[in-house]
Every structure is written in structure tokens, then in C-alpha cells.
Amino acid sequence: MKLLFVEDNRELSLWTTRLLTQSGYAVEQAFTGKEAQHLLLTETFDAILLDLMLPDTKGEVLLRQLREKNNNVPVLIISAQDQLQDIIGHLDLGADDYLVKPFNMLELEARLRSLLRRSTGRTSPVLSCGALHYDTNSKLFSCEGKTIQVTPREHAVLEALVRRPGKTVSKKELQESLFTLDDTVSEKALEIYIVRVRKKIENTGAQIVTLRGLGYMLTSSNE
């Protein structure tokens, strides 16, 4: 899952990004509104963490621009503004959730997981395809109660696919959602990860189908 973190406090941004990365997210950082606007034009994100007080613009301006363009990417505001009218105003403006600084990292991740579930129309934290299960809270893959061991990049590939079962995920989408601009991967490397993941889920009733020229799809082998 790829996140955009818009925060001008570099120490806070670096600290939070490091922890989110350790939890398996790919995070792009923007320290100004202009940087955020550029990234939003060139990249696709699963969610945005948005500070309100930026050096060159207000976070609410970015939020308004997103919604005016019918961009429905989930937005979690993280701000020191803790007045009720601020919270209500920004939720009414189109934010999906609001977290007051200083925040607890465990709460941030829980809110983020909930936000991402809602954005896909799901309420259960467990995603399934065949007998393959993915717990979005523990971030573990399993089959018949047994954990499937995967490397961080294999995990990222499989998570992107299991979040969209039965739907095509292009190579470009996989590359953009799995790796940040500072951590790119070639199509050849991506194909290697796909091969490795296929082997690890071959007895789960789920399979990765290659759609030539389009991308990949996770489906039940019984379909």
C-alpha cells in the first residue's frame, strides 16, 4: 500500500515514515503543498496523511482541490488543531478521518487500516481468496491456520493482489504501489517476485494469473 505523507516537520515525517515502512507501507514524503501537488499529479496513492499547517499553503486547500477533481483517495488529517469546529469542518470538507497531534503510532496505524478497509467497501479485517487469508491487522498471510512466510517484497506483491481479488493489477500499478521513487524495481525483478509468490501459495486454492499486456490477477483456482 502506497501512502503520501504531507508534513513540514521533517523530524516527525522521517520518524513516522520509518515506522510505517517497517509496517510494510511504501511512503512518499512531501514537506510543502507544492511537493504534494506534484506527487499527486505524477503518482497514485492508496491514502494520504495530511498536515494542515504547511509553509506555502494550507492542507485544507489541498483537500478541497482533491475533492473538486473528484479524487476520492482516502485522507487522514493529522493536525495539532484540536478544536471541535476544526475537526467537524475538515470532515465536512471531505476528510475521511482526523487525528490530533501528538498521536500514538498504534492509533495512527489502526485508523489507517480502518480507513483503507472502508475505502474498498470491506468491514472485515481479513481478506480471502480460496483458502488464502490475509489479516490486515496482523499483516499475516495464512492457509488452514498455518502462517505463510514471505519476504517484505513478496508480502507487498501479494497484499496488492489480495486486496483486489478477481481484478487486474497492472505491472505499473504494482511497481508504483509497492516501491517509492527512491526504491524502484524493474519489470524483470517484479516478475521474479511473482514467481516466488506463486510457489508459496500454490496449495492455498488461490492462483496468480498473468494477463499478457495487462498485468496480474489473483483468483481462486476453482473459478
Per-residue pLDDT 10s for the chain (223 aa) are 889 999 999 999 999 999 998 888 889 999 999 999 999 998 889 999 999 999 998 999 999 999 999 999 999 999 999 999 999 999 999 999 999 999 999 999 999 999 988 877 776 789 999 999 999 888 899 999 999 999 888 898 999 899 888 999 998 888 876 665 556 677 888 899 999 999 999 999 999 999 988 899 999 977 5
- What is the CATH number assigned to the segment(s) 2-119? 3.40.50.2300
Domain boundaries, the chain: 2-119, 126-220
Residues in the chain: 223
Domain 126-220 top-level CATH class: mainly alpha
pLDDT for the residue 78: 95
**CA 3 – CA 49 distance, rounded (Å):** 7
152 burial level (CB within 10 Å; 0-12, 13-18, 19+): exposed
Is the pTM higher than 0.85? The answer reads no
SS3 (DSSP) at 81: coil
**CA 101 – CA 106 distance, rounded (Å):** 13
pLDDT for the residue 190: 87
Supply φ then ψ for residue 49, to 5 degrees: -100, 120
